[in-house]
Structures are given as structure tokens and as C-alpha cells.
Amino acid sequence: MKTVIGIDNGTQSTKVIFYDYENMKIAAEASSPHDLISGEDGTKEQKARWWIDALKKCFREIPEDVRKSTAAVGVSGQQHGFVPLDAEGTVLHNVKIWSDTSTASECLEIEAAYGSGKKLLQDTGNRILPGYTASKILWFRKRHPEKYAKMRHILLPHDYLNFYLTGEYSMEYGDASGTGLLNIRERTWNRRLIQLLDPDRDLSSCLPRLLDASGAAGSVSRMASEELGILEGIIVSSGGGDNMMGAIGTGTVSPGVMAMSLGTSGTIYGYSDTPVIDETENLAAFCSSTGGWLPLLCTMNCTVGTERTRALFDTDVKDFDKTAGKARPGSGGILTIPFFTGERTPNLPNGKGCIVGITDTNMTKPNIFRSTMEAAVFSMRLGLETFKKRGFEPKEIRLIGGGANSPLWRQIASDILDIPVVVPLYKEAAALGAAVQALWVLQQKKGNTIQPLVNLTNLHVKMDKDSRCIPNSMAVKTYDGSYRLYRAYIDQLSPLYR
């Protein structure tokens, strides 16, 4: 048996899979949860050592013979997190993760110094939004000057795991484009923007070397080999952000295929051979981890709404879905605006969650439950409409994330988006994507040629035919009206949340 490892460092947990690429099956897998540090000011942080502890725990659960069978490692990581290290590679502070909105004022400060958000969009392809790494760096400089003075390396979460595995500092273009500091057209750092973060210091020296997606971050060090029980010297691929690896794990690596994730955050994305800069600012202009580009809409609140509602009513997932299924499409007119942790798309860092449209006849538990599920997909519809205006013509949406496990949510997604949806056979798409990318790098190292990645995804990424949902024409009509009302409420509420 020959395997490649896929590691996924997510918000809630670390997942590890050992993929038997000869027999095309998962040989072993494990996961370990993460804690989260939250604050009323929008703070969302984790400690980098928690990730390493979780990683070690996962590997201890894998049989020794499986651990010794692996030939390469790929890492997926939550995007945008800021991991500052000193010269010895010691983490200097808690990691501000992607969902942190406490740096909203720093975003405005950076854009004002650059000239405007519009100019940034024109020059680099992206504005500086809450959640992006750039504002976290400025926040760190202002709030913790003594620690900042010791900073010698700036890494993202997946880069930090690559550093743990190899002892080398690197960053791949796809994840790097989520820092806000990369010119995504030219795949180079925006030197002027970096200088604005600290006019008195050359921060570019803290940024690691940039890697092509097909490159290797290094090889497994002796220390990582001993701590994880895998072979020293095996290849560690470039890796990438969780959305970039999710694209590989769903086969979203060529035009015409789109994927959507219903996780803590919600994302919808598609592959492009050329950069896609969205003047409406709905789509982030990211590079892919496959050599192309990955325009993407991301919301900070997706399953957040259902999880908070479940907690409020002390209901488990199965009963929640059963209750929500008793309501009709449109939830009797109730709409949830799910900005529980602020929001990135639309750009409302001070957003709050609310429930609207309640009357004395529609205020039922089924309607409230279902409305939180519908709200997550209404947010995604904005992205799909933007993609279609840009010329994308998806034939189906490949659905991943926790929400994809719910047959009801899958049908809601199909009806709101008016497009068939299907779930990959292996649902941990980011972990599988990391493993397939590792296999891609491994094979070209052996053959000295770069084969199209789509050849590998066609072979190793399969869809669950039984999960496929087709739009219901009556529900589609109902949701068209609900969506227009949803957008109208957001337009009215937005001035309160900016």
C-alpha cells in the first residue's frame, strides 16, 4: 500500500487522512478539535500550539504501518490567519484567524493611506477587508510593539504547519492572495502596500519565498518524522488555503465546474484560466493552488446561524433538520439576516444577526429553524449571480462542508440557486485536495514533467450520485420572491452595520 497524507487545519479541528492512491480509497483518518478565543470586539483567535497538539494527536491514532506507507504530505489551512514568528521560529502572539473582525479600523486606515479601496482593487485585485492578513499585521504593530519588533517571519496557518513539517519558510500563491498584499495579476507582492504597513521597516524581509502550486515546500524533517511517526525526507507539497484545497478535492480545477461550502463560513467559487477582478466587490480575486485563479465569494456566517439556533433551543442536528423540514419553502415569510459575527460579503464588519418578517401566525419553531438554513444559501446566491454575470455557466454545484450532510439543506440549496447540486463521495474535500496535490507534486518529481492536475482529480475525485438534488420549480418561484425581500432588508439595515 502506498499513501499520501492530506492535513486540513480548519477553524474547528485538524483532520488528517492517509489516501491510498493505488486503490483510490482512504486508508486511515483522524481528527482533533480546536478551541477558540472570542471577544465582544470581534476578536477570533487561536494558539498555534493547539494546531500542533491536534496534529500529533491525529497521527497517534493512525496505525504505524499506515504511517510508514506514505510518500508525500499536503497541507490545507484556514485562510488569512496571521502567524508572527521571531528569528528562531517561535510564535510571538495568538493567531488572529480569518473570522476576526477586530481590525476593521486598520482596514480603513490602510486603504486611506493607499489612496482608496477602489485604487487597491484596481492595482492588486482586492480591497483590504476584515479578515485579511494585512490589517492584522498593522493591528499587531500598533497593539504589541515589543513583540512586533521581534517579528522576523509572517506566515499563514498552512504555512506554519509546512514550517513545522520541514523547518522551511514558504508561501503559495493561492493562500498568499488572501493576505491582501499580493498583486494577483502578476503574482508579486505589492511593495508600496507593504511599505505602508510600516514606513520605518522593510516588512518584505518577513514574507517568505513564494511557491508555484506544483512546487514542494520542502521535505519532512527529522524532528517532524520522530514526533509524527512518518518517514524523514518525504516530500511536503506547497499546500494551500482551505478553499484552494477544497477546489482540488471537488474537482473544481477547470472551467465549467463550481463548488460551494456550507461550513462555519460559506464560500462559492469557480476556476478561471485568467484573473477575475470583480468591480462590484462581491467576489474576492484569488489565485488558485493549481496554477490558475479562483474567484470566490466568502461569507463569515453560514452554519453559524443554525448552530446558534440549535444551541438556543437545545436541539441536536437530526431533530433540527426534522423540525425545519416541517416548514414550507420560504419559512412562512420569516427571514434570518445571519451576520452574527459581522460580515465580509457584504462588507459589514459591525453587522449583527436578526430575524425579520415575524407575525403572530408564522412565528413557529419550524419556520425559524428553516429560515436559518435558507439564509446561508441566500448569501451564496449573490455570489452565483455575480459569477453568471462574469460569464460562468455552471452545470452543477458541488457541495461540501457540514451543511452538505443534510438532505434538506441540499434541496434548499438546489431550489434557491436553481441549479442541480451534488456532494463528493468523500466529503472532507480540503483534506482530500491536499492529498491529491501532494500526489501531483510527487508524480512530477518522479517523472520530471508536470501533468495537468485535472487528470488526477478526474481519477480520484468522485461524486455521490445518490446525493444529487434537482430544483423544484414551485420552490424556485417562492425563493425568487424571498431572495428579493432578503436583499431589500440588507439594503435597509446596512447603514447601521458599516
The cell numbers describing 481, all together, are 420572491
| Strands 95-96 and 3-9, bridge-based pairing | unpaired
The cell numbers describing 322, all together, are 426534522
pLDDT (mean) for 455-462? 95
Beta pairing partners, 6: 17, 74
Cα–Cα distance measured from residue 68 to residue 46, given in angstroms and rounded to the nearest whole number: 31
| pLDDT at site 277 | 92
Crossing angle for the helix pair 365-389 and 407-417, nearest 10 degrees?
Answer: 50
**Strand, coil or helix: what is 210?**
strand
Q: Which residue, 209, 230, 233, 229, is CA-closest to 220?
A: 233
Q: How many CB atoms lie within 10 A of CB 43?
A: 17
| pLDDT at site 341 | 87
pLDDT digits (tens, 9 = 90+) for 174-193: 999 999 999 999 999 999 99
Rounded to an integer, what is the distance from CA 459 to the centroid of its chain? Answer: 24
pLDDT digits (tens, 9 = 90+) for 247-287: 999 999 998 889 999 988 899 999 999 999 998 889 999 99
Element holding 155 (H helix, E strand) = strand 153-155
| pLDDT at site 133 | 98
| pLDDT at site 337 | 96
CATH fold group of domain 3-243: Nucleotidyltransferase; domain 5 (3.30.420)
Rounded to an integer, what is the distance from CA 439 to the centroid of its chain? Answer: 21
pLDDT digits (tens, 9 = 90+) for 71-98: 999 999 999 999 999 999 999 999 999 9
Active site residues: 242
Do 283 and 383 contact (CB within 8 A), yes or no?
Answer: yes
Residue type, 492: Q
pLDDT (mean) for 136-142? 98
| Strands 209-211 and 170-172, bridge-based pairing | parallel
Cα–Cα distance measured from residue 62 to residue 401, given in angstroms and rounded to the nearest whole number: 24
Distance separating the N- and C-terminal Cα atoms of the chain: 55
Who's near 31: CB < 8 A, 6+ residues apart?
13, 14, 15, 16, 58
| pLDDT at site 450 | 73
The cell numbers describing 50, all together, are 493547539
pLDDT (mean) for 229-241? 97
| pLDDT at site 296 | 95
Res 496 pLDDT > 70: yes
Q: How many CB atoms lie within 10 A of CB 50?
A: 18
Instruction: Write down the H helix ranges in 337-406.
Output: 365-389
Q: Which residue, 233, 238, 71, is CA-closest to 159?
A: 238
Average pLDDT, the chain: 95
The cell numbers describing 108, all together, are 480603513
Most confident among 312-321, 345-354, 450-459 (mean pLDDT)? 312-321
| pLDDT at site 448 | 66
Do 224 and 166 contact (CB within 8 A), yes or no?
Answer: yes
Query: Dihedral of the CA atoms 104, 196, 206, 170 (nearest 10)?
Result: 70
